[in-house]
Structure formats: structure tokens, C-alpha cells
């Protein structure tokens, strides 16, 4: 196998992948309506479910599309016309959920919360109890804009107490931070192929409680391509995706899953955490501040204040030429850049990055 040039992607996905995942895309041409391909999708779907839930009660619905597509699929497919979804907005991805429901004219309540501090749960409960039409609670697990980790344990308890269906955007936590859908009362969990699972971009998926998805069967349709129940039902009935799937990406996702299972989710998170601990330890030595306090941090992505004398674009180009890709910040009121420590990278990559960062900011 010829080695492929290795770039260290410190953007929050698509992440750095192994060569074996890249090469898994090179397969004989196949029509995705063939049984062999249906079996591949079934394998992928089952394996993705097992990472967070028992396949007897939960299932994974695959879509050709990015992460936003599956968040949009859930929000536009499962909320009845006369009900309301409460969306926690504590960053760009919570805000995006609000934009999605706005564009479909779905009833929603935006619960604004600090982008760097934990959610005020008392206030959240009070808001829910004031509006009886709320039937769904939607949150982002790891706010990728800041690295703030919302507690699924606490939010899931609230969803259960108020009998709400619980929708989680776990795009940047799934396959790294352990999640248990049953214990955390999660009905719908959204993720994609190109972040912590370490596959190629192009597949979004929804892991859903089978009972909940079945309940959405007779709801008035607002969408077509993204209809969650139709995509679920079609695969059950025909062993095929409704529309052309990203064929080669699915082969590489299978390989990524095999490698994820070999490493194990806990070990993967340990590896990521070790990189994050090194990163933040070096940032502190350089006197560089970052947004979220360690105790609320996902240890997946860090939003770092840019020193006044540094221009982000110049710094990006400097690192890019050295094989590291850094990412701009996304929190309006803070001048930050972001470093994600996900994908097939390790603490040695972070050590080298920090050495270069120190040189760059003190030059
Ligand atoms: C939490 C979260 N939600 C949604 C998305 C959107 O995913 P995509 O860019 O694949 O549409 C991202 C992407 O980084 C994310 O981090």
C-alpha cells in the first residue's frame, strides 16, 4: 500500500484518517441496488447503532448528506404540526437548529444559554413547564464552536420528567465521548461519517429509538428527500437507500468502524483527551487563554484567544505549509481560533504543533 501524504487536520472534521480508510474506497464498481451493497449498509447501520444503543430497540437511518442534513431530517420529520420543540441555543449549532425549524415554519422556543457556561437547568425546567405544547427537546451535545459539553445525563432526565422526545446533535461527540441512548433517554441522535468515527465525508446518520420513529409514521409530511420515516421504512422494505448513496464513502465508513471497534470508544476518548491535556497544558505555559473552563470542556475542540499581534489568516498559512490545518473561531464576540484534537492524530502531533505555535507567537 503506497503511503498517502499525511496532513494533521486540527479542524473539527473532516478529520485525519488512516490510509486503510482512504484505500477502502477503492473497490470494484457496484450498483448500490445489489444485495451485496444492501448488506454493507446493514452492517454499517448495525455497527453505528451498537456504539450507543442496543439494536433491538434502536436503529440507524443512513442518508447521503452532511451532518446538517440529518439534523434537518429529524427536526422536519418528527415534530407534529400542533406541537413545539424547545431548542437549547448555546452556540452556532444550537442556533442552526433554530434556523432549520424557522425555514419549515415549525413551532419552537429558543432557550438561549451562555456559550461558555453550563445550562441553567432550573430555568430550563421553568420554561418547559410554562408551555404545555412542548413535545420535543433538542440540544447539541458538544458545542463545536467552543468545546462546551452539555450534560446529556441532566438534559435526558428533564426530557423524561416532562415526557419530551429528546433530540441530540452529537456530531462532534459521537464515537469519542461515551453515550448511552437508553440511560440518557435519547430518542434521536444525529452524527456523521467524518468526525470521531474517522471516516470520509458524505454520510449523515440518525440513530433512533424504533418506537419513536414508528410514531412519526402518520405525521403530515413537510419534506421529501430528508423524510426520516420514509428513509427508515424504505431500507426495511427494500434493503436499499431511497436515493443514490455515496457508494465508496460507505465502504470507507465500514473500514473506519472496524478500526474504531479495534481501538474501542473509551480508548479513543483517552487518546483524544491525552492530546487535549497536552494542548491546554502548553497553552497555559504560553499564556494563551481559551474559552471554556476545563470542568465543562469536551476535550475535543478548543477555542483559543488570538493574541493581538497575530493575524489568523497568516497564522493559518504558516501552519498549513507545515502540514497542520487550524480553524477560525465562530463565536462573534471573541477573537479566537480553534484546534480540534480528533481523528487519527496523537499527542506527538500536538507536541509538535505547540512547539511551532510557541515559535510563531513569539517571533
Ligand atoms: C455539533 C455540530 N452540528 C452540526 C454540524 C454540521 O455538520 P456538517 O458541516 O457536516 O453539515 C457540525 C459541524 O461541525 C457540528 O459540529
Q: Give 113-138 pLDDT, tens digit per residue.
A: 999 999 999 999 999 999 999 999 99
pLDDT 10s digits, 186-196: 999 999 999 99
Q: Is 12 in the pocket of ligand 1 (CB under 6 A)?
A: yes
Please tell me the pTM assigned to this model: 0.98
Atom of ligand 1 nearest to the CA of 13: 14
**Does the C-beta of 72 come closer than 6 Å to ligand 1?**
no
Residues 169-217 pLDDT 10s: 999 999 999 999 999 999 999 999 999 999 999 999 999 999 999 999 9
Contact yes or no for 14/201 (Cβ under 8 A):
yes
> Does residue 68 line the site of ligand 1, with CB under 6 A?
yes
Ligand 1 centre to CA of 172 (Å) is 7
CA–CA dist 73, 261 (Å, integer): 27
Determine which of 94-108, 189-203, 290-304, 323-337 has the lowest per-residue pLDDT on average: 323-337
**Grid cell at residue 49:** 447503532
User: Measured from the CA of 145, which atom of ligand 1 is nearest?
Assistant: 16
CB contact at 8 A, 101 and 135:
no
| 49 touches ligand 1 (CB under 6 Å) | no
For the Cβ of 171 lying below 6 angstroms from any atom of ligand 1, the answer is yes
Is ligand 1 within 6 A of the CB of residue 93? yes
3-state secondary structure of 55: coil
Residue position matching grid coordinates 453515550: 179
Q: Which atom of ligand 1 is closest in space to residue 204's alpha carbon?
A: 10
- Domains located in the chain, CATH noted: 21-261 (3.40.640.10), 265-361 (3.90.1150.10)
- Cβ atoms of 211 and 72 closer than 8 Å: no
Amino acid at each position: 500500500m503506497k503511503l498517502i501524504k499525511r496532513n494533521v487536520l486540527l479542524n473539527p472534521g473532516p478529520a485525519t484518517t488512516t490510509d486503510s480508510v482512504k484505500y477502502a474506497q477503492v473497490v470494484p464498481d457496484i450498483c448500490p441496488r445489489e444485495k451485496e451493497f444492501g448488506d454493507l449498509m446493514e452492517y454499517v447501520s448495525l455497527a453505528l447503532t451498537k456504539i450507543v444503543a442496543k439494536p433491538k430497540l434502536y436503529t440507524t437511518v443512513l442518508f447521503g448528506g452532511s451532518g446538517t442534513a440529518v439534523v434537518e431530517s429529524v427536526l422536519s420529520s418528527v415534530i407534529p404540526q400542533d406541537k413545539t420543540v424547545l431548542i437549547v441555543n448555546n452556540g452556532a449549532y444550537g442556533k442552526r437548529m433554530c434556523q432549520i425549524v424557522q425555514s419549515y415554519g415549525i413551532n419552537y422556543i429558543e432557550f438561549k444559554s451562555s456559550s461558555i457556561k453550563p445550562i441553567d437547568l432550573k430555568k430550563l425546567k421553568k420554561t418547559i413547564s410554562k408551555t404545555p405544547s412542548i413535545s420535543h427537546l433538542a440540544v447539541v451535545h458538544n458545542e463545536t464552536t467552543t468545546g462546551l459539553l452539555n450534560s446529556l445525563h441532566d438534559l435526558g432526565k428533564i426530557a423524561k420528567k416532562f415526557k419530551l422526545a429528546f433530540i441530540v446533535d452529537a456530531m462532534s461527540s459521537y464515537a469519542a465521548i461515551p453515550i448511552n441512548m437508553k440511560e440518557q433517554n435519547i430518542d434521536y441522535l444525529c452524527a456523521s461519517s467524518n468526525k470521531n468515527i474517522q471516516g470520509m465525508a458524505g454520510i449523515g446518520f440518525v440513530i433512533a429509538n424504533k418506537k419513536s420513529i414508528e410514531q412519526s409514521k402518520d405525521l403530515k409530511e413537510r419534506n421529501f428527500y430528508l423524510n426520516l420515516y420514509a428513509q427508515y421504512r424504505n431500507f426495511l422494505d427494500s434493503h436499499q437507500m431511497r436515493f443514490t448513496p455515496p457508494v465508496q464513502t460507505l465502504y470507507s465508513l465500514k473500514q473506519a468502524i472496524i478500526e474504531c471497534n479495534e481501538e474501542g470508544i473509551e480508548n479513543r476518548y483517552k487518546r483524544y483527551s491525552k492530546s487535549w491535556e497536552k494542548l491546554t497544558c502548553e497553552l497555559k505555559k504560553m499564556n494563551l487563554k481559551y474559552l471554556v473552563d476545563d470542568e465543562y470542556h469536551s476535550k475535543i475542540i478548543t477555542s483559543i484567544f488570538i493574541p493581538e499581534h497575530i493575524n489568523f489568516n497568516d497564522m493559518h498559512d504558516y501552519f498549513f505549509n507545515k502540514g497542520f490545518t487550524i480553524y477560525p473561531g465562530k463565536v462573534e464576540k471573541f477573537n479566537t481560533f480553534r484546534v480540534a484534537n480528533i481523528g487519527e492524530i496523537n499527542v506527538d502531533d500536538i507536541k509538535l504543533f505547540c512547539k511551532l505555535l510557541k515559535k510563531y507567537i513569539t517571533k
